[in-house]
Amino acid sequence: MKQIFSSIFFVLLCLIQVNAQRQSISKTIEAFPYQHTAEAATSITAMKSWQKNEWKQLVDLLNDDSLKLKSSYALNAFVHEASLNNVLKKQTAGFIANVYAEAKTFYAKEILIKQLALLGDDASIKLLTKLLKDETFGGNAARALASNHSTTAKAALINALASASNNNKKHIQAAIDNVNFVLPGIEIELPGNHFTKTYTQTYAQHLLLLQDKMEKASNPFQKRNLLYEAGQIPGFSSFIFVSKYLNDEEINKDAARIVCKLALSDKNITGTEVRTALEKAITLIHGEDSAALVTKTKAHLKILPYDYGFVNLFNGKDLSNWKALVANPIARAKMSDSALVAAEKIANEKTKGDWIAKDGLLIFTGHGDNLATEKKYGDIEMYVDWKITEKGDAGIYLRGTPQVQIWDTSRREVGAQVGSGGLYNNQKHVSKPLVVADNKIGEWNTFHIIMKGEKVTVYLNGILVTDNIVLENYWDHNLPIFAKEQIELQAHGTYVAYRNIYVKEIPTETETTTILSAEEQKEGFVSLFDGANIDRWTGNTAGYLVQNGSLMVSPEDGSVGNLYTKEEYDNFVYRFEFQLTPGANNGIGVHAPLEGDAAYVGIEIQVLDSENPIYYPNLQPYQAHGSVYGVIPAKRGYLKPTGEWNQEEIMVEGTKVKVTLNGTVIIDGDYAAASANGTIDHRDHPGLKRTTGHLGFLGHGDVVRFKNMRVKRIVMAAPTKKKRK
């Protein structure tokens, strides 16, 4: 009996010790993931003294879905620290390899394999080689060995290939191909009278090289040749590079011809700077190129969208568009507006000098926190060039979330040999880039980043490195990525320089779909255009295109004709938004039939860029924007600048008409009374006698955009009859 009690006591003592040990480990990793630097350092120091039993307890926590988050962050942080010290790295690899068998869940096994890949010690390679035969984790093990890039790891992959199962053979072969990967090239033949060269580079690499050469070019002949080469590379980046030389008097005429040709060949080259560059270019083109090229460019400018184009986030001179970082997105969301403004003011003062604009570059000096955009972004397309120094470490936060990784690939101790461009903080989804596409330290690199929804695609120097991968919410992995948040340039204690930072917002279906407000629905308004189709309209449907949630009059795609509502309206309130292009002319048809000149057989409310100098001095008062054409002149001076959206409301009750433009009433009159003694344009307007008809857009061959069209019928009270005496 005494022996039985002793055994029970021993078991209880072991359980107490295990529980105490687990509590101690839980306390050690409590600092993660929302750690302060000092707390994290204390925890990592404590973990350095762990032995096999403590590591077993950590794996036990990884097996528990409710406890794995903190232990995962702690493990990641410690392995990165260990990889900087060869002795600790070897020791940690041994511990993880020894306790791998304790991992029971897919998550626990996968994260341990990832850590072994970062450590790359003999103990890691031995276990990973064994796992190449595992049907579930063979692929993970193969990728981990490939990221090691050592001779031993490569030999392990080659030796395992012959005897591997068909499924694992695919993974192992892909890993071997990764190890043997050589940066691919694209042959570009550049025809010309003076030279013909073939380059085995991607377009992006070639353009980076041209920018370096341009900085060293010493005469106009060299510069012209470089511009010519850039002109053979399609895309937005080439356009921006060449457009910078529109102000160089020695080569600006050459630059002008090239930017026009680049823009005409690619409708994705859009944005404010694109428009400005093309407007400048057409003034510089003369001679034989002017007739065709200038005419085509002017027509292109007419249809060039004002919305959703590329925006320059760095002007090369100062930190406009940027601010200092305050907390993380979840913490910021809990702050009041006033508290956030106050915190940003303090942060901006505190971080002065950490980020500077110098020699056209945006530079992190090596001290301080992240730099954030003032604006929040959702779906985007982004171009950015970057350059780091030896041991450099940086990144691009998308929607306030880390991160598209940037680092020195020689830093094998932290796993940087996999290359830049991966989604470093992903846990469930792919975090490593497909290939290594980095240029040498001290050379410029360029990212082309596309984010749609929760997925990210990254091209590094023209090579696809991240292919439509989910970006996880680092701040709370149980939450999806934020719909909109700031872009951040990561500060990680090492010098990094950026240039050519351009972002284009990609409109989502929600942003381009027009939905009536609850108030308008209650009032009885009906939507005439939802941003997606024109099934409530008839007439010249070929000349009106749906584009980014708006209806664009597009003369190049159809005739100049009119578009009408299928239904007729007598008394109504009609609301819409419109965007003019320079000198544009259109009109709103009221009580219009489907045939004839609606300005006369119906009624036309003028839509015109009437403040444009091209109409002076011959514009008649009754032709100004908002006028009942030929009948009642409108007040002038209330249009927004060209390219901005205007809001307009037209109300017709009987013969009374009221037009409100951007909140100001510009017409409030009676067209029957106004024309009782003849119209002011001295023309016959039989349409003034019509009491019902279609609403319409009356095209005149100019590009105008309309959106958010909605209408409410007005039921007029019947006139009261006088009683007979």
Q: How many Cβ atoms from other residues are within 10 Å of residue 75's Cβ?
A: 25
Residues 598 and 683 in one domain: yes
Share of the chain above pLDDT 70, in %: 90
Note whether 720 and 575 are within 8 A (CB). Answer: no
Does some domain include residue 600?
A: yes
> 556-562: long-range contacts (C-beta < 8 A, 24 or more apart)?
556/299, 556/303, 560/699, 560/700, 560/701, 561/699, 562/589, 562/592, 562/598, 562/696, 562/697, 562/698, 562/699
Q: Which of 461, 344, 328, 334 is nearest to 403 (CA)?
A: 328
Task: Provide the pLDDT for residue 50.
Answer: 86
| Joined tokens for residue 121 | 């010690």
Domain total of the chain: 4
Burial (Cβ within 10 Å: 0-12, 13-18, ≥19) of residue 161: middle
Residues 695 and 596 in one domain: yes
Residues 269 and 286 in one domain: yes
Does some domain include residue 133?
A: yes
Positive or negative: CA dihedral 107, 113, 114, 116: positive
Does some domain include residue 646?
A: yes
Give the HSE-up count for residue 676: Cα atoms under 13 Å, Cβ half-sphere.
6
Low-confidence ranges of the chain (pLDDT < 70): 1-23, 31-38, 84, 120, 148-149, 178-200, 288-289, 556-560, 718-725
Residues 462 and 547 in one domain: no
The per-residue pLDDT for range 399-450, each reduced to its tens digit, is 999 999 999 999 998 999 999 999 999 999 999 999 999 999 999 999 999 9
Does some domain include residue 230?
A: yes
Residues 535 and 449 in one domain: no
CATH number at residue 353: 2.60.120.560
Task: Provide the pLDDT for residue 505.
Answer: 96
Task: Provide the pLDDT for residue 6.
Answer: 47
Task: Provide the pLDDT for residue 190.
Answer: 37
Cα–Cα distance measured from residue 517 to residue 513, given in angstroms and rounded to the nearest whole number:
12
Residues 575 and 479 in one domain: no
Residues 490 and 587 in one domain: no
Does some domain include residue 719?
A: no
Cα–Cα distance measured from residue 169 to residue 163, given in angstroms and rounded to the nearest whole number:
8
Cα–Cα distance measured from residue 262 to residue 601, given in angstroms and rounded to the nearest whole number:
45
Residues present in the chain in total: 725
Cα pseudo-dihedral 557, 561, 566, 568, rounded to 10: 150
pTM: 0.71
Q: Which of 62, 118, 131, 65 is nearest to 92 (CA)?
A: 118
Cis amide bond preceding 617, omega within 30? yes
Cα–Cα distance measured from residue 22 to residue 291, given in angstroms and rounded to the nearest whole number:
81
Give the 3-state secondary structure of residue 171: helix
Q: Containing domain of residue 197, as a range? A: 186-307
What radius of gyration, in Å, describes the C-alpha atoms of the chain?
33
Residues 11 and 151 in one domain: yes
CB contact burial 315-347 (16+ within 10 A = b; e otherwise)? eeeebebbbbbbebbeebeeeeeeebeebbeeb
Note whether 239 and 262 are within 8 A (CB). Answer: yes
Does some domain include residue 51?
A: yes
Residues 474 and 419 in one domain: yes
Cα–Cα distance measured from residue 32 to residue 225, given in angstroms and rounded to the nearest whole number:
55
Tell which of 462, 487, 504 closes a domain: 504
The per-residue pLDDT for range 522-544, each reduced to its tens digit, is 999 999 999 989 999 999 888 89
Does some domain include residue 136?
A: yes
Task: Provide the pLDDT for residue 37.
Answer: 55
CATH number at residue 121: 1.25.10
Residue 184 phi/psi, 5° resolution? -70, 160
Residues 241 and 371 in one domain: no
Task: Provide the pLDDT for residue 16.
Answer: 42
Strand partners, 372: 323, 488
Task: Provide the pLDDT for residue 289.
Answer: 66
Q: How many Cβ atoms from other residues are within 10 Å of residue 511's Cβ?
A: 14
Q: CA distances (Å), 440 to each of 410, 447, 554, in order?
A: 10, 15, 48
Residues 197 and 122 in one domain: no
Give the 3-state secondary structure of residue 349: helix
Tell which of 157, 179, 201 closes a domain: 179
Does some domain include residue 329?
A: yes
Residues 158 and 226 in one domain: no
Tell which of 133, 160, 179 closes a domain: 179
CA angle 266, 467, 548 (to 5 degrees): 40
Task: Provide the pLDDT for residue 119.
Answer: 79
Positive or negative: CA dihedral 338, 344, 350, 353: negative
